[in-house]
Amino acid sequence: MLDGFFASTVVQSALLIGGAAAALSGIIGVFTILRGQSFAGHALADISSSGGALALLLGISPMAGFFGLSLLGGLGLGQRRRADSSLVAGIMLGAGLGLTALLLHFAVSQRGVAGAAVTIMFGSLFAAPPGAGAWALGGALAGLLLIACLYRPLLLASLSEELAALRGAKVRLLDVLFLGMLALSVTLSAMSVGAILSTALLIGPAATALRLTRRPPAAMALAALLGVACAWAGVALAYASYGWTPGRVWPVSFFITACVLLTYIIAAWRRG
Amino acid sequence: MSLAVSGLTVRLGGRDVLREVSFSLAPGAFCGLIGGNGSGKTTLLRTILGFQRQAAGRVERPQTAGYVPQKLQIAADMPVRARDLVELGFSSPRFFFPLPSAKRRQRVDEILAATGALGFANQRVGELSGGQFARVLIAHALAGDPRLLLLDEPLANLDLRAAAEIVALLRKLAARGVTILVSAHDMNPLLGAMDHVVYLANGRAASGPVAEVVRTEVLSALYGYHIDVIRVHGRVIVVAGERGVQAHGPEHVVAIP
Amino acid sequence: MFASYLLSGWIVASLVAFAAGFTGFFVVLRRESFAAHALPMAAFPGAAAAALCGVAQWPGLLVAALLGVALLFWLKRGQRRDAATALALVALLGLGALFLSLSGRYANAVYGLLFGQIFASSPADIPPALALAVLVPMALLMFFRPLLLGALSPDFTAGGAKGDVLFLIILALTASFALPVTGALLVFSLMTGPPGAACTLAASPRTGLMLSVVLAVALIWSALALSAATGWPAGFFTGVLAALLFLAARMWRRARQAPQLPGPA
């Protein structure tokens, strides 16, 4: 059984994409929670689903589609910390999902791709296109590198924009760069667990880590570790589930989400 | 008696914020609640209102009490005009949608006029200046027809002139029989107006007429530290410890040659 | 304008929009956009579970939405509100994905629940929609004053949490009734776009509420008309028109507030 698990190229690719997505999302997620942008992160994910639908319609790589549209959404979201930023995010999210509805409608009627909604919204880690693993790894490494360069100003700006500006940081530029990184992590997570479930990888491990430690670097390391562990456990469980209900694999996204939430509940329980 | 507090002890997070605080106010009294940051002013007001539970002691107050909270901010995108906020202060109907009526509108106009807020009645509350907003919040509290009005640091962010105008307004209300309890970290803007003072420090309170409480002996006993009360031109300066070395708050720092 | 078989869809959509206009006004004032997005999504596994067990959708939806409210409040302790909302959302959505996958009617059901199949509604969908359009406005009008005061500042109402619970339950009700006919997306767009525009334009809460309802109904009518004319999904038009409406309202207000420039003589 285990031999088959690791020998399968599908599984290898799933482990690679899921791991890369979870590691990047865990770290970006800590910043997202500290900046109070959880809704923006989720909105970007929902908006990116129209990119997935567009890619399906045009027959291009879904990763390019997800990334393009979530980047566009990030630019549209603009600045945070406005009183109405959640309303703006919500309305953009609605427009983005509306676009998804239209593109899916075309995809189904013109190209006959049944089940497209499921693939885009809830993911299909086992059906990733060949080569996606390499792209995911590259994307995650690029994102991690960017965070390493921007770590100090980004953290300071997350806590207080004024303090960061006093230290000479360009707060507006940081906002845009952060939304770019958020778009990248949303893209990778959307490839793994689907657009609307990608929030599980972004917020879940980060929230768990922040319950366990207050120090930002430790929280980021912990979130990345927990995320990768959950993603891999989810892949393994989905693989094993083939034997539970004959002939049908339980969705890998469900297992990843369940692992993420279980770790959060255990952490919250232990901390009271 | 309009407000009677006896033996009030309030515990927050395992710490006694207030210890055996007792004082009472007659109808129409104008009382200043004075103390530094963290001295328990807000806690005392919220306990009187019943928002906060006491560990011991009793509060007797009239059924209708008005409250002006501290540091309240309403975003400019809220579709609520000054007159709407005042109308929301009416205690009836508590539930159900208030249908527009000429009588209510007239009553709102009266309250707005009495608080000097008629000039900006149709502006959104989020767009008002600090002094204007303070007037509207007082008008909102008055709409419930209170016998007791509690105000939490209403003067904190106002310029000197706006502060003086708000104090004059509160004085007018006290003259009409409304008991006023207003908290402040600086007592000077209230000095001419208040006839009673409750001074909070170390969780304990000293209360009585201003001349009896704001004295070196009383405040020194309250703080458990030597305090000098200096009177200059009818103003009061409260200075701690050795002369001019350590002040009670930045407002009170004076260089004594 | 519509063929007779489209009529029940049109009636159901109007009723849902009417209720959503009311709920949405408070969603915008109380800054609960994320919860308004999360609760319809959280109701989703209820429908999926009902499909799996082969029972009626309503009880499943209601239970799931109320479970979402409870989960939200449990997670909120010791956590930022938006992060807690995100966690509650993915918890229930993940379950929904599982139930749907097990029921074997994955593809069509997902599209329908997310984006709605308004023209597929039958006359049987009218009574629940009518109940929604009566109950929700009644509840909101009854608690108009405390809900509005609580939205302005928790300092105005001593027991802020009570109003919070009440409002989220009303929101969950709206979501679970509206979801099967209009989809999670459509009801969310109706609860943010028109009320957002109404709050931008209206001066007082009373006109704001009325404008919100009128705009929501007008929006769904335009979306349905455009959808019937083009054959494109109604969810697309609702989402995009909601955003355009909000944008137009913002621009109109900004233009009115901008200082008058001296024009050419």
Structurally, chain A folds into a number of domains equal to: 1
pLDDT tops 60 at residue B257: no
Q: What are B59's strand-pairing partners?
A: B5
Q: Which residues of B fall within a CB distance of 8 Å from C142?
A: 95-97
Closest CA in chain C for residue B67:
C156
pLDDT tops 80 at residue A116: no
pLDDT tops 80 at residue B209: yes
Average pLDDT over residues A37-52: 91
Confidence of residue C134 (pLDDT cuts 50, 70, 90): very high
| CB spacing of C152 vs B80 below 8 angstroms | yes
d(CA C98, CA C93): 9
| CB spacing of B88 vs C149 below 8 angstroms | yes
Question: What is the set of domains in chain B, with CATH numbers?
Answer: 1-63+147-161+174-209 (3.40.50.300), 72-145 (no CATH), 215-257 (no CATH)
pLDDT tops 50 at residue C60: yes
Closest CA in chain C for residue A118:
C107
pLDDT tops 70 at residue A1: no
| CB spacing of C155 vs B94 below 8 angstroms | no
For chain B, give the mean pLDDT: 85
What are A141-161's pLDDT values in tens digits? 999 999 999 998 888 888 877
**pLDDT number for residue C265:** 39
B29 or B90: which carries more pLDDT confidence? B29
Q: Tell me whether C230 touches chain A (CB under 8 Å).
A: no
Domain range for A11: 2-271
pLDDT tops 60 at residue B248: no
Which of A57, A77, A118, A270 best probes binding to C when mutated, by most C CB atoms within 10 angstroms? Answer: A118
Pair of tokens at residue C131:
């109940």
Closest CA in chain A for residue B76:
A83
| CB spacing of C86 vs A41 below 8 angstroms | yes
Average pLDDT over residues A169-182: 87
Q: Which CATH number fits domain C4-252: 1.10.3470.10, 1.20.1530.20, 1.10.3720.10, 3.40.50.11540?
A: 1.10.3470.10
C99 or C66: which carries more pLDDT confidence? C66
- Residues of chain C by 3-state class (helix, strand, coil), percent to 5: 85, 0, 15
Pair of tokens at residue C200:
């931008």
Confidence of residue C111 (pLDDT cuts 50, 70, 90): confident
Q: Which residues of C fall within a CB distance of 8 Å from A97?
A: 114-115, 185, 189, 235, 239
State whether ipTM is beyond 0.95: no
Chain C residues 119-158 with a CB less than 8 Å from chain B:
141-146, 148-149, 151-153, 155-156, 158
Q: Which residues of A fall within a CB distance of 8 Å from C196?
A: 84, 87, 91
Confidence of residue C207 (pLDDT cuts 50, 70, 90): very high
Q: How many CB pairs under 8 A join A and C?
A: 177
How far lies A210's CA from each of A37, A179, A270, C219, in Å?
Answer: 15, 21, 13, 42
Average pLDDT over residues B168-181: 92
Nearest Cα residue to C87 out of C73, C66, C101: C73
Chains that touch A (3 or more CB pairs under 8 A): B, C
Q: Which residues of C fall within a CB distance of 8 Å from B74?
A: 152-153
pLDDT tops 90 at residue A225: yes
For A4-18, A39-53, A234-248, C148-162, which range has the lowest pLDDT when averaged over its residues?
C148-162
Chain B residues 78-97 with a CB less than 8 Å from chain C:
78-81, 83-85, 88, 93-97
**pLDDT number for residue A80:** 56
For C32-36, C76-80, C209-213, which range has the lowest pLDDT when averaged over its residues?
C76-80
**pLDDT number for residue A244:** 78
Which of the 8 DSSP states describes residue A129? P
In three-state secondary structure terms, B205 is strand
| CB spacing of A95 vs C106 below 8 angstroms | no
What are A249-262's pLDDT values in tens digits? 788 889 999 999 99
**pLDDT number for residue C168:** 92
| CB spacing of A38 vs C91 below 8 angstroms | no
| B13 burial level (CB within 10 Å; 0-12, 13-18, 19+) | exposed
| C257 burial level (CB within 10 Å; 0-12, 13-18, 19+) | exposed
**pLDDT number for residue A81:** 61
How far lies C51's CA from each of A59, B178, C56, C125, in Å?
Answer: 33, 63, 8, 17
Q: Which residues of C fall within a CB distance of 8 Å from A100?
A: 115
> Measured between CA atoms, how close is B29 to chain A, in angstroms?
40
For chain A, give the mean pLDDT: 86
**pLDDT number for residue C264:** 45
**pLDDT number for residue B14:** 82
pLDDT tops 50 at residue C263: no
Closest CA in chain A for residue C93:
A197
**pLDDT number for residue A82:** 67
pLDDT tops 80 at residue B204: yes
Identify the top-confidence range among A69-83, B216-230, C82-96, C117-131: C82-96
Confidence of residue A2 (pLDDT cuts 50, 70, 90): low
| CB spacing of B97 vs C200 below 8 angstroms | no
Average pLDDT over residues A97-117: 81
Q: Which residues of C fall within a CB distance of 8 Å from B98?
A: 144-145
Confidence of residue B247 (pLDDT cuts 50, 70, 90): very low
Closest CA in chain C for residue A37:
C82
What are B44-75's pLDDT values in tens digits? 998 998 888 889 999 998 888 888 988 777 88
Identify the top-confidence range among A61-65, A113-117, A136-140: A136-140
pLDDT tops 60 at residue A68: yes
Order across the sheet with B30-34: list the strands: B65-68, B148-151, B179-184, B30-34, B196-201, B204-208
Instruction: Write the single-letter amino acid at A131.
Output: G
How far lies C171's CA from each of A37, C50, C133, C229, C230, in Å?
Answer: 22, 21, 13, 32, 32
Average pLDDT over residues B101-121: 90
Confidence of residue A7 (pLDDT cuts 50, 70, 90): confident
> Measured between CA atoms, how close is A79 to chain C, in angstroms?
16
Which of the 8 DSSP states describes residue C1? -
> By percentage, how much of chain B surpasses pLDDT 90?
32
What's CA C97's distance to the chain center, in Å?
A: 21
> Measured between CA atoms, how close is A83 to chain B, in angstroms?
7
A169: CATH: 1.10.3470.10
What's CA C28's distance to the chain center, in Å?
A: 11
Give the domain ranges of chain C: 4-252
| CB spacing of B100 vs C200 below 8 angstroms | no
Q: Tell me whether C200 touches chain B (CB under 8 Å).
A: yes
Q: Which residues of C fall within a CB distance of 8 Å from B100?
A: 206
For helices C144-152 and C4-29, the axis angle rounded to 10 degrees is 50
Average pLDDT over residues A76-101: 82
> By percentage, how much of chain B surpasses pLDDT 70?
93
> Measured between CA atoms, how close is B162 to chain A, in angstroms?
27
